Amino acid sequence: MILKKATVLIVDDDPDVLTAVKLLLKTETQEIITEKNPENLNWLLQRNQVDLVLLDMNFNSAINTGNEGIYWLRKIKEWKPNVCVIMITAYGDIDLAVRSLKEGANDFVVKPWHNEKLIDTIKDLLDKKEGGGKPTRASAKGESGTSILGDSEVMEDIFHKVNKIAPTDANILILGENGTGKDLMAKAIHERSLRADKPFIKVDVGALTDSLFESELFGHKKGAYTDAREDRMGRFEEAEGGTLFLDEIGNISLQQQAKLLTVLQNRQVTRLGTNKAVDVNIRLICATNVPLQELANENKFRKDLIYRINTVEINMPPLRKRAEDIVILAKHFAKLYSSKYLKPTMEFEPASLQKLRSYNYPGNVRELQYTIERAVIMADEHILRADDLIFSILETPGENIIDDDNIQLSTLEKNAILRVIEKHNGNITRAAKELGLTRTALYRRLSKYDI
């Protein structure tokens, strides 16, 4: 819908806000309706053909829920489900505004807003409403080039959510199987945030023992324990002003969870060996391959910590559920590794593309990436043929059987596992990650081969 033909209703108990928006939009729209009392919303919506509502998050009204904006948002969606709603919020209420997106709001703006940005936001929503869908996005990309590619519907939804939440300080929990790109998504969110020029610190907390957990995250003073030979800043302090990314959060112990929760509640860390608390200002992003329902088992994970880290969640889909993106990703990796290994840009023959499309990718995007990298390295021509694409024997035990020299696939798999575990000095979490397996799947293989 063209903005010039639209009717916009703004509901805010601050008369200055009503006046400012009316002056801004009066020449841009067909009609502007202003209202201070949200209790008149239903009457206004029934009487007028409203296309979009600008709704404040907080009112001094008879309804006192602590988040009146959410209450009236739900009512609008109940009365007029197709009306677009933009929430108006103060900077301190951004977490609540992000929650409003889950409740059905189309967008939110932070006071004080930029006039041009507000007009553009309204135009985009009305255009999308008229077109019956969302604008297409090819990637979620940060300023330094970190990107996640995809044209599938599920990825478009994720890109839309990232565009909304990245500029806020909302805590984010990224869920998904191994190899789906959770760490890449965390970096992309950081690079689109207001903290992009500050540190991005990643910690694989699932690989930390109880004895190392506090020292690694919170730091220590010299002499705090036997090997503490000098003062050391923890990862929370290293991430000051920026983003702290805690990977494999679902694998930490209940004792570690309690210590982490205390820090997140107080926004302070205390280094081992000292009683002095240090304030920290970080944006927290966590990731896990543990499904949220399983994570919610209080015998394994504290629910109060889940709520603390999960203002907004992003579910990274497995590659088998975004098959439309396989060719896009394959061509991206082919171009990337052709350049890396100083080869002409590799092209795919039709049979190779068909082979890529028909595979199930239990190792997800990571498996596709490694498959294309191997193919580029080994290819003798600039055309990648179907025979050049060899999928991981760790993921496809029934497909790539080698019988030329009576070599058993099980022997190859066992040897590969042993090499990777040795490479990571027995660290199962890191070995599983490199192999593209869950820790449970790797343990099953260890048992199977009596390793």
Predicted local confidence at residue 338, as pLDDT = 92
Identify residue 140 by its one-letter amino acid code.
A
Three-state secondary structure call for residue 119:
helix
How much is the pLDDT for 124? 81
Collapsing DSSP to helix, strand or coil, 450 comes out as coil
Residue 283 phi/psi, 5° resolution?
-100, 130
* 3-class secondary-structure state, position 425: coil
Q: How many CA atoms lie within 13 A of 151 on its CB side?
A: 6
- pLDDT (0 to 100) of residue 385: 92
Burial-class residue 221 by CB neighbours within 10 Å (0-12, 13-18, 19+). middle
CATH code for the structural domain at 319-388: 1.10.8.60
Residue whose C-alpha is closest to residue 367's, from 424, 326, 335, 418: 326
Check if the beta carbon of residue 171 is closer than 8 Å to that of residue 308: yes
Structure tokens that stand for 13 in this block: 């108990």
What DSSP line would sit under 243-309, residue for residue? Answer: EEEEETGGGS-HHHHHHHHHHHHHTEEE-BT---EEE---EEEEEESS-HHHHT-TTTS-HHHHHHH
Residues 6+ apart with CB under 8 A from 292: 173, 175, 306, 313
pTM higher than 0.75, yes or no? no
Q: What Rg value do the Cα atoms of the chain yield, rounded?
A: 26
CATH superfamily assigned to domain 161-315: P-loop containing nucleotide triphosphate hydrolases (3.40.50.300)
Architecture of domain 3-131: 3-Layer(aba) Sandwich (3.40)
Q: What is the pLDDT along the chain (451 residues), one digit of tens a residue?
A: 578 888 999 999 888 889 999 999 988 888 999 999 999 999 999 888 899 999 998 776 555 454 788 889 999 988 988 899 998 887 556 667 777 887 888 888 887 788 888 888 888 888 776 655 444 444 565 433 446 888 888 898 898 888 889 888 899 999 999 999 999 999 999 998 889 989 999 999 988 887 789 888 998 788 767 676 788 889 999 999 999 999 999 999 999 999 999 999 999 999 888 888 999 999 999 999 998 888 887 788 999 999 999 989 999 999 999 999 999 999 999 999 999 999 988 999 999 999 999 999 999 999 999 999 999 999 988 899 999 999 877 655 444 433 444 345 567 777 788 888 877 777 888 888 778 777 777 777 777 777 7
Model pLDDT, residue 67: 73
Whether 3-131 and 319-388 share one fold: the answer is no
Helix (H, G, I), strand (E, B) or coil at 37: coil
* pLDDT value at residue 146: 45
Q: Which two structure tokens, joined as six digits, stand for 373? A: 């990298």
Domain ranges of the chain: 3-131, 161-315, 319-388
**Degrees to nearest 5, angle at CA 128 with 125 and 132:** 140
